[in-house]
Amino acid sequence: MADVVVLTPNPAVDVTYRVDEQRIGETQRVRAVERRPGGKGINVVRVLRTLGVDALALAPLGGAAGAWITDALADLGIPARAVPIAADTRTTVTVVDDLAHPTMLGEPGPLLADAEWEALADATATAVAGARVLVVSGSLPVGADPARVGAWVRIAREAGVRTVVDGSGPALLTAADAGAEVLKPNREELLAATGAASEPEGAAELRRRGARLVVVSHGADGLRAYGDGEPVHVPTVAGVTGNPTGAGDAATAGLVAALLRDDDLATALRTAAAAGAAAVLRPVAGEVDPTDVRRFLADLDPAPGDPDAR
Amino acid sequence: MADVVVLTPNPAVDVTYRVDEQRIGETQRVRAVERRPGGKGINVVRVLRTLGVDALALAPLGGAAGAWITDALADLGIPARAVPIAADTRTTVTVVDDLAHPTMLGEPGPLLADAEWEALADATATAVAGARVLVVSGSLPVGADPARVGAWVRIAREAGVRTVVDGSGPALLTAADAGAEVLKPNREELLAATGAASEPEGAAELRRRGARLVVVSHGADGLRAYGDGEPVHVPTVAGVTGNPTGAGDAATAGLVAALLRDDDLATALRTAAAAGAAAVLRPVAGEVDPTDVRRFLADLDPAPGDPDAR
């Protein structure tokens, strides 16, 4: 029984290939291979656990790639509940060199049978019983019904469990319709999903549909939250450079950790920003050093003092 | 107990990604994914079985990729003996579109422990007992001792089993030193491995070391064999276009099938050329239509007639 259940609808084996020089139309020897369990929710659960939160990974997993993820999560000490599916879990391949931007090749993800979607909903109901927060994070497999996300939110709400959804497109709308407590799109996702002309209008639309709080990430420009009062903005930590992959997922984890502590909204946003900045310092998505998170939280605190004393 | 044992030292999961347009430094959605068990020897064993030869695949296999290959071979109805290894079997990723040449990204392959190499040698000894031919096909994992190939040849010879080696580099030399019956490099591999200035000199060097027959493939220009008599040349089948990947492996399979029938050398080379041409007609490596092989063999026959009547 975990405090936080993180549902990753479309997990992935994230593979990174280092080559001497990316070239199209040639045979290239891969100099180094890294494989890690991926998908946004998997990054979220890893950071949550690093922050000391009792979090469980829940995901549909199939084929050799699914088995690999199960093994890798076990090796990382991350409790996981796999819902078995017949199709192969997807792989993403990122090709890197020291010369050009990385090239990312993303498989669309498996087709799940209706019975498998139902098994995932049942597993969600079982996992959230006794939990405090359900996080749904990342894309659905191509072709999946976006109403699934709304259904998961309803399952959690009926169990009295808080909900945080980091998604995009119609899934964001179904989560709002189902009364998700927190939605966390980035600015582009918000405008695309709602068709709104501005960020405040988009956030208002999601709240009108039923969401309580809309936290919009602006990448390097910080986070802005739209709730019952005035919008609240926190900047990112200044001067942090590194690998932004997974920073948004770390921010989601920071936000959830703060929600569990019943922090006020501004503190929760600062915790999210601090966790995101800490993730930028790490070469791999899904990792933060808690010392960095505490340090950056202090940096962001408008009233200097020990953040742990709050 | 199979007639032919095909040892693949460095098998692979061969993945093909179709994208709209290959681009460096961007995120690309993969439109279609194909996975098949690969490595040259896996192609050879698949074609051998299609040609009606009782052949067994033998390979070191590890991790999720190794388990996937084991399952895939079973699905294809190919008897296989896997020697378990701790490291992950490699994957190759080929990216294709309709605009540019394919891009191939090849992992170097797993590092095997000495005990795993010994287990592979033991499994080879067990598998060749009662077999008629051992085929060793394809690269060694990066960092492997090329003397392993010579050792496998010796194991087969001590069991009275014929040997065919399709390899390159120092492994080709160790196979020759061990007295392999047939070596099948391409022209570039022959010159690189022997350092010879010409193909006849390179073939003579391999024969001086101990090989009985050196069959040199020239791709679209056919095959030339260097044995006890004058060199024998057969052309490729004219006018065949398609996918050349795996054509050399199909040629190896054709050659082995002819050896098992004790065909004369010219007929064996023609069978190899016919199988290679038949493979070009198939979109996927490791496949031939036996009807195509028979038809092409008739086309290549200098004395027209029913090739089956020979």
Q: pLDDT by residue (tens digit) across B40-62? A: 999 999 999 999 999 999 999 99
Q: Which residues pair with B103 in a beta bridge?
A: B95
Q: Return the beta strands (E) in chain B as ranges.
A: 4-7, 12-18, 27-29, 32-38, 55-62, 80-85, 90-96, 103-106, 133-137, 162-166, 182-183, 213-217, 223-226, 232-234
* Phi and psi at residue B191, to the nearest 5°: -65, -40
C-alpha span between A214 and A227 (Å, rounded):
7
Query: What is the ipTM metric for this complex?
Result: 0.81
- Interface contact flag, A101 B23, Cβ < 8 Å: no
Chain B residues contacting A, CB < 8 Å? 15, 17, 19, 22-31, 33, 35, 63-65, 67-68, 71, 88, 91, 93, 95, 100-108
C-beta neighbour count of A212 within 10 angstroms: 17
pLDDT digits (tens, 9 = 90+) for B139-183: 998 889 999 999 999 999 999 999 999 999 999 999 999 999 999
Cβ-based contacts of A102 with chain B (< 8 Å): 25
Q: In what order do the strands lie in the sheet with B55-62?
A: B80-85, B55-62, B4-7, B133-137, B162-166, B182-183, B213-217, B223-226, B232-234
- H/E stretch holding B110: none
pTM for the whole structure: 0.84
Amino acid letter for position A180: A
Our CA-based measurement puts residue B303 at a distance from the nearest CA of chain A, in whole angstroms, of: 41
* Phi and psi at residue B108, to the nearest 5°: -70, -20
Question: Is residue B122 among the annotated active site residues?
Answer: no
Our CA-based measurement puts residue B44 at a distance from the nearest CA of chain A, in whole angstroms, of: 22
Comparing CB atoms, the residue among B25, B27, B105 nearest residue A106 is: B27
Interface test with B, best of A17, A24, A29, A88 (most B CBs within 10 A): A24
Contacts 24+ apart (CB under 8 A), A125-129: A125/A155, A125/A159, A127/A2, A127/A5, A127/A56, A127/A58, A127/A81, A128/A5, A128/A155, A128/A156, A128/A159, A128/A161, A129/A1, A129/A159
* Phi and psi at residue A89, to the nearest 5°: -55, 145
Eight-state DSSP code of residue B305: S
Catalytic residue (choose from B88, B249, B262, B292): B249
Tens-level pLDDT at each residue, chain B (310 residues): 799 999 999 999 999 999 999 999 999 999 999 999 999 999 999 999 999 999 999 999 999 899 999 999 999 999 999 999 999 999 999 999 999 889 999 998 899 999 999 999 999 999 999 999 999 999 998 889 999 999 999 999 999 999 999 999 999 999 999 999 999 999 999 999 999 999 999 999 999 999 999 999 987 789 999 999 999 999 989 888 888 888 999 999 999 999 999 999 999 999 999 999 999 998 888 899 999 999 999 999 876 544 443 3
pLDDT digits (tens, 9 = 90+) for A260-293: 999 999 999 999 999 999 999 998 888 999 999 9
Comparing CB atoms, the residue among B17, B101, B108 nearest residue A105 is: B17
Do residues B300 and B272 lie in contact, with contact meaning Cβ atoms separated by under 8 Å?
no
- Interface contact flag, B24 A71, Cβ < 8 Å: no
C-alpha span between B106 and A196 (Å, rounded):
45
Find the length of chain A: 310
C-alpha span between A167 and B278 (Å, rounded):
49
Cβ-based contacts of A91 with chain B (< 8 Å): 15
